Amino acid sequence: MTKVVVFDEFGGPEVMHIVEEPVTEPNAGEVRVRIEAFAVNPLDQMMRSGASPAPVPLPRARLGVEGTGIVDALGPQVTGLKIGDPVILTAVPDAVVRGSYAQYTTVPANRVITRPDPLGITEAAAIWVAFSTAYGALVEKARMRPGDHVLITAASGRVGQAAIQIARQIGAVPIAVTRHTAKKDALLAAGAAAAIATDQTDIVEAVHHHTGGAGADIVLDLVMGPGQQDLLAAARPGGTLVAAGFLDPRPVPFPTGAPLTFFSYRSFEHTLDDVVVKRMSAFLNAGVRLGALQPAIDKVFALDDVVEAHRYLEKGLHTGKIVVTV
């Protein structure tokens, strides 16, 4: 039997509870992973509360799109992996059925990658979603190059911090945006070339100051909402804006008339593409081994305390990833 976190109705963290289910055997092309740790993500909160844009069938819905563990069993026709391999889950598109909030889960074999040796279990559980999202948006979509000035909103969040590290690894110039002056020093310490606090500074003026009047080559918008109009003004003519977040639910008009390229990005666009995942994995491995890529961990909970982990997420006080060990 395996412990699995499920919920039978939408609501607050208290709707989650742990049940025991039979351990599932992997089908052809699948592996079973003994989960060692998983990260708690805003998408999990949206699914649990009923705010997910995708349907979540009840009862006994599962959660978890991120995690790490050990290959425990191989289904027929699986090659390139063996029992005992430490892996990272790269995508769990059907998380409501086999999410990572469990002691075991089965996934297609092409939905795991080998865990980089330097990563501990908690770091491995927390690295993929944030870093693959930032990599996909900046490298695959925006074609970020050395020397590019990259404006990153919500820079103190997990994807924002990953974007800063990835920009530096490429040789680009990350400019971090935060709403709070108190976070500027931490962003500079995290590797940002400059930090703009919108509670005291006009973002358009500040960006032009830091770019010698040219404007940002790439804007990574992890917030959306009406504030996107200022980001358009801060970008250089011919630049690129990638909208990859939804922290501000207020409607925003589609950019028109602005002389720049606009992309809307969701990470499954690339994490379900085997070819791109190979590039992501190679980039991640190199960055981890060089010490350039390292996820920030805020707090670690045990599986029996998963409700408290979600309550902590909802307080919004965390500065790194929230991880649950199994």
For residue range 279-315, what is the model confidence (pLDDT) as tens digits? 999 999 999 999 999 998 999 999 999 999 999 999 8
CA 153 centroid distance within chain:
14
Residue 252 counted as domain residue: yes
Note the residue count of the chain. Answer: 326
Residue 273 counted as domain residue: no
Mean pLDDT rounded to a whole number for the chain: 93
With a CB cutoff of 8 Å and minimum separation 6, the contacts of 240 are 141, 142, 143, 217, 218, 219, 260, 261, 262, 263
**Is residue 145 located within the same domain as residue 259?**
yes
Residue 128 counted as domain residue: no
| Separation of alpha carbons 304 and 17, rounded Å | 9
3-class DSSP state of 324: strand
Q: How many domains does the chain have?
A: 2
Say yes or no to pLDDT of 73 above 80. Answer: yes
**Taking residues 173-177, what's their average pLDDT?**
97
**What CATH number does residue 58 fall under?**
3.90.180.10
- Strand 321-325 and strand 30-40: pairing? antiparallel
**Is residue 61 located within the same domain as residue 142?**
no
Say yes or no to pLDDT of 256 above 70. Answer: no
In terms of residue numbers, what domain contains 196? 134-268
